[in-house]
Amino acid sequence: MIEQIVSTGIFIIALTLIFSEKVNRTIVAFTSATLMILVGFYMGFYNQELAIEAIDFNTLGLLLGMMILVALMEPTGFFQYLAVWVGKISKGRPIRLLVLLGTVTTLVSMVLDNVTTVVLIAPVTILICEILGINAQPYLLSEALLSNTGGVGTMVGDPPNILIASAAGFSFNDFLIYSLPIVFVTWFVALGTLRFLFRKDLNKAVDIANVEALQELRPRDAIKDMDTIIKVLVMIVIAFIGFLSEEIIHLEPSTIALTCSAVALFWVRPEQLRTTLNHVEWDILIFFGALFVMVGGLEKAGVLELLADVIVQGMVLPTVVLGVIMIWVVAIMSAIVDNVPITIALIPVISSLGGMGVEIAPLWWALAFGAGFGGNGTIIGSTANVVVTSLSERTRNPITPSLWNKRGLPVMLTTCTIASGLYVGFYYLFGF
Amino acid sequence: MIIRDCMKTNVFSIREDELVTKAAKLFLEQHIGTLPVVNKENKLVGILTLQCMLKITMPDFVNVVENFDFIPNFGAVRTKQPERSELFRPVQDIMKKPVFVEEDWSLIHAAAILDKEESADIPVVSEDGTLVGLASHVDIGTGLIEQWDLDFF
C-alpha cells in the first residue's frame, strides 16, 4: 500500500508543478521520473530496467522521425509560401481569408507537427492582416483552434494520437476510418462557430487599396530553398504511403518515419546539421520519455490496477456512456493541464480495463477526442494556443485569457458536444 | 584625447515627464537623431532616439517576420498614423535605458560602447551623472583616426 501512496504522490506533485507552470514541464517530468526510479528501487517496486521497458520507443521514434522532416523543412520558407499564397487567393475578403488560413493550417498540421505549423504560419498571418488593415486576433485564434481540432483526425496529427495508436495497436488507417469522419464534421462546426463569434470583425469592409497591396505579394520570393522543399516533400509523401500500407508492409510507423527522415537527411545533407537538429524538439521527446517512466512506476506499484478495479466495480454504465463521460472529463482536464500527461496516465488504465474484459476500443477513441478537442478551451490548453498567444503579445492586439474564454471556450464546448453526439451515433451505427 | 575634447556641449535634451509630441517637434525642428532624457536635476535617465519614435508606427510584423523580400507593398501600414494615446504620454514610456560615457573616458572606450550598442550618438555625463554633452560616432571616430600616424608609411 505504501508503494502505491508514494508513487501516486510523486505523480500528483509532478502534475501540479506542470500545471502551475512555475517550472518547465520537461524539467519537472525528468526530475520526477528519476525520483520514481530511485524511490522504486529502494522500495523494491521499480528499477532502471523496468523504467526503460516502460518507455514506448515506437511513440518516440515516430515523433523523432516526423520532427526531423519538419526540421529540414522549417528554414526553406515553404510554410510562409503557403500562407502568402492563400492570402492572395482570399482576395482580401475576411471570411474567405479565415477559412483559407484555417484550412491550410489544419491540413498541414494533420500531416506535420501543428506547433511548427502555427509557429511559421502565424507571423505571415499577422503580416497579411496588417497589410489589409484588419485585426489579426480572429485569424490567429482560428488557426490554433482549427489545427487543434483537425489534428485529432490523423495518427500523426496530434501527440496523444501517436500515444494512443501505439498503445491500442491502431493503424494509420484506423484513424482515417474511425476518427477522421467525426473530426471532419466537428471541424466544420468549429469553423461555423468561429465565423459566428467573430462576425463583427469579419463583416468589416477592407479598403480596396490594401487589397491591391495584398495582391502584389510575391509568394515565390518567400521560398529560400526549393531543392530541399521538393526532397522533403517526396520523403513526407513516401512516409504517408508507408503509413497507409502498414498492414501490407508490416512496418511499425516509427520505423517508417525514422527511415524516411534518415533518407531525407542523407539526400538533403544540410550544411549545418547541428542547426537542423536544434529544430528538433528534444525537450518534448525527453518530456514524453520521462512521463513513460513515471507512469511505468505507477503501474509497477500497482496503482493503475487498483484504479481500474475501482472503475470496473463501480461501473454499471454501458461502454458508450462511459465513452461520452470520458470525452468530457478528459476534455476538461486537457483544457487545464497539458493533454500529453493525461493521455499517458490514462493509457495503462484503459489497458487494464481491457484485461478485465471491458470493451475498450470505444474508450481509446473517446480519449483521443477528449484530449484533442479539450485543448481548445483555454489559452494554455494546447501548445499551439500558447504559441499564437505569445506571438500576439508582440503585436498591438495581444490575445488575452478573457478573449480566449469568450472565443475558444465556446468552440471547445461546441466541438465536444458535436463529437459526443457523433460518437454515440457512430457507436450504434458502425461500431468502433 | 578624451571625450571632453570631441563632444558637443550645446545639446538638446528633454525631461522624462514631457510628452512624446514635444520630443517629435524637437527631432523635426532641430533635425537630430538622439535626445538625452534627463530628470529635474538634469541627471541622465534615458535616451530617446529616432528609432524609439518610429516604433510607434512600425508594423507589428517587423517583429515576427524574418525577411520582407516578398512584400513589395506595405498596404495599410504605409500611411499608418500614431494613435493619440501614443503621442500624449511621457517620453519615459518609450525611451531606452541610458548608455553613457563620462567626460574623461578615452575615445576608444566610447567607440567600443557605440559598437556594442549599435547606436549613433552617446550622451556624456559628469561624475555625478549630470548631462554635459553628446558625442556622435563621427565625433568619436574622426577623433580616433586623427590620432593615427598616417604619414609614417
pLDDT tens digit string along A173-190?
999 999 999 999 999 999
Residue of A nearest to B63 (CA): A394
- Locate A68 and state its grid cell: 526531423
- The answer to whether the CB atoms of B63 and A395 lie below 8 A apart is yes
A430 CB-contact burial (10 Å; exposed 0-12 / middle 13-18 / buried 19+)? exposed
Q: What pLDDT is attached to residue A352?
A: 83
Parallel, antiparallel, or unpaired for β B131-136 and B121-125? antiparallel
Q: A139 near A103, Cβ under 8 Å?
A: no
Does A121 contact B at CB distance below 8 Å? no
DSSP summary character for residue A179: I
Min Cα distance B71 → chain A (Å) is 5
Q: Tell me how many helices (H) and strands (E) chain A has.
A: 24, 0
Whether B151 is covered by a domain: the verdict is: no
Probe site for chain B from A127, A135, A210 (most B CB atoms < 10 A): A127
Q: Give every CB contact of residue A327 below 8 A, 6+ residues apart in sequence.
A: A366, A369, A370, A373, A416, A419, A420, A423
Does A75 contact B at CB distance below 8 Å? no
Instruction: Please report which confidence band the pLDDT of residue A109 belongs to, taking 50, 70 and 90 as the band edges.
Output: confident
Chain B residues with CB inside 8 Å of A394's CB? 60, 63-64
Q: Give every CB contact of residue B18 below 8 A, 6+ residues apart in sequence.
A: B90, B91
Residue A25 has pLDDT above 80, yes or no: yes
The ipTM of this complex is 0.78
Does B60 contact A at CB distance below 8 Å? yes
Task: Pick A213's closest partner by Cβ from B61, B69, B74.
Answer: B74
Instruction: Please report which confidence band the pLDDT of residue B67 belongs to, taking 50, 70 and 90 as the band edges.
Output: confident
Q: How far apart are CA B107 and CA B93, in angstroms?
A: 31
User: Looking at residue B60, which CATH number applies to its domain?
Assistant: 3.10.580.10
Domains: count for chain B: 1
Distances from the Cα of B68 to the Cα of A73, A219, B65, B71, B76, angstroms:
19, 11, 7, 5, 16
Which residues 70-129 of chain B have a CB within 8 Å of chain A? 70-78
Chain A residues with CB inside 8 Å of B73's CB? 131, 212-213, 216-217
- Locate B89 and state its grid cell: 504620454
- The answer to whether the CB atoms of B60 and A132 lie below 8 A apart is no
Residue B152 has pLDDT above 80, yes or no: no
Q: A229 near A78, Cβ under 8 Å?
A: yes
Residue B34 has pLDDT above 70, yes or no: yes
Whether B84 is covered by a domain: the verdict is: yes
Does B58 contact A at CB distance below 8 Å? no
Instruction: Please report which confidence band the pLDDT of residue A40 belongs to, taking 50, 70 and 90 as the band edges.
Output: very high
Q: What angle do CA A183, A19, A296 make, to 5 degrees?
A: 80
Whether B153 is covered by a domain: the verdict is: no
Q: How far apart are CA A221 and CA A372, in angstroms?
A: 35
Which of residues A336 and B27 earns the better pLDDT score?
A: B27
- The answer to whether the CB atoms of A395 and B65 lie below 8 A apart is no
Does B62 contact A at CB distance below 8 Å? no
For residues A59-65, average pLDDT: 92
Whether B59 is covered by a domain: the verdict is: yes
Whether B72 is covered by a domain: the verdict is: yes
- Locate A55 and state its grid cell: 518507455
DSSP summary character for residue B106: B
Does A83 contact B at CB distance below 8 Å? no
CA A410 to chain centre: 19
Min Cα distance A80 → chain B (Å) is 9
Q: Please name the amino acid found at residue A135.
A: N
Instruction: Please report which confidence band the pLDDT of residue B118 belongs to, taking 50, 70 and 90 as the band edges.
Output: confident
Q: pLDDT (tens digit, 9 = 90+) per residue, A354-396?
A: 878 788 999 999 999 999 999 999 988 888 898 899 889 888 8
Q: Give every CB contact of residue A3 below 8 A, 6+ residues apart in sequence.
A: A40, A43, A44, A45, A301, A302
| Domain extent for B39 | 3-146
Residue of B nearest to A218 (CA): B70
